[in-house]
Copies of this chain bind each other. A is one copy, B any other.
């Protein structure tokens, strides 16, 4: 029942009448240790069930081989897939991954970022909460020159690496697609436009309308948090307009889904009477009826890229820092919810 004190390199050293440093070197495969000594040491280490104490090593080397990730919600498909991508690359490079979720609360995000710092993560990868519009809490990392990568919801103007998709182009593509399908009056449901993602999608939407000489109308743009409930409220509001839209480009798939459910319940046919395009390519979008046209972001690849970037930065600290913003490719996936032409 009692916790047996762990075996340390000193235990091994004592037993073999050598010094702890030799043991340390041997276990780290330092070439300056004689092969026979190494073998002796490793054999005994195995026999005694020695397990290195990473904490001690971390303290000594000032390096934790740990990457922190902060996302709004761990169990959102986009984020969990991103995390999976990070973990893949990190694991292969010998890094651990420590994760927290902000729950879209600025205050929690701030706490987490501080905690990650105190835990001396070697780098931090993050996508901002819906409430985040100031970035002082990340200054801690910038000041200490600790690598920082923003993805998806980024801090505009903050000097750091960033991984995004071209949300403007996505918004444009989605809207242009609806126009091409013959929809006449296209609305947009946006998320909080303090966030670059939702802001840019909306601008892309507007730009497409303008390019096609269609009027921008304030009443056709609704901003909320894009939950299922939000989607339903939005579509109700839109249908209640004197001059309601015949299509909506939604800021995410969840709200698009709830709109579809509501429209179906009202006997409004999709895509014949009403067109919908969502965002993110959630797993359900492909299999729901009608299937949801959407924009696919390469979540796994974004995570991998983020990990590569940050590990590279961690391991090349001395190089003059140059920050890049990497734009990953997206794909407009046209499905039933907007495909009049196939009918």
Contacts and interface: CB of A to CB of B under 8 A. Distances in A.
A8 interface: no
B288 A119 contact: no
A251 to B, nearest CB: 18
Interface in A73-89: 73-75, 77, 80-81, 83-84, 87
A28 interface: no
Contacts of A83: 74-75, 99
Interface in A13-65: 49, 51-56, 58-59, 64
Interface stretch (A137-145, A187-195, A304-312): A137-145
B51 A114 contact: yes
Contact of A74 (B73, B84, B108): B84
Interface in A243-282: 257, 261, 282
Interface in A212-267: 257, 261
A108 to B, nearest CB: 8
Given A3-B144, A145-B3, A120 B54 contact: yes
B144 A6 contact: yes
Contacts of A257: 287
B289 A53 contact: no
Contacts of A143: 4, 49
Contacts of A59: 53, 55-56, 59
A83 B74 CA distance: 7
Contacts of A323: none
A316 interface: no
A118 interface: yes
A340 to B, nearest CB: 20
Nearest to A292: B287
B75 A96 contact: no
| Most chain B CB inside 10 Å of its own CB: which residue of A49, A77, A99, A143 | A99
A58 B55 CA distance: 7
A284 interface: yes
A318 to B, nearest CB: 9
Nearest to A63: B55
A100 interface: yes
Contacts of A108: 91
Nearest to A85: B75
Top 7 closest pairs, chain A to chain B, by CB = A289-B289, A284-B284, A80-B80, A75-B80, A287-B288, A75-B81, A74-B84
Given A51-B118, A55-B119, A284-B288, 13 more contacts: A1-B145, A51-B114, A54-B118, A55-B120, A56-B59, A74-B84, A75-B80, A75-B81, A75-B84, A99-B99, A257-B287, A283-B283, A288-B288
25 contacts: A1-B145, A2-B145, A3-B317, A4-B143, A49-B143, A51-B114, A52-B118, A53-B59, A53-B118, A54-B119, A54-B120, A55-B55, A55-B59, A55-B119, A59-B59, A74-B87, A77-B77, A77-B80, A91-B108, A96-B100, A96-B115, A97-B100, A98-B98, A283-B283, A284-B288
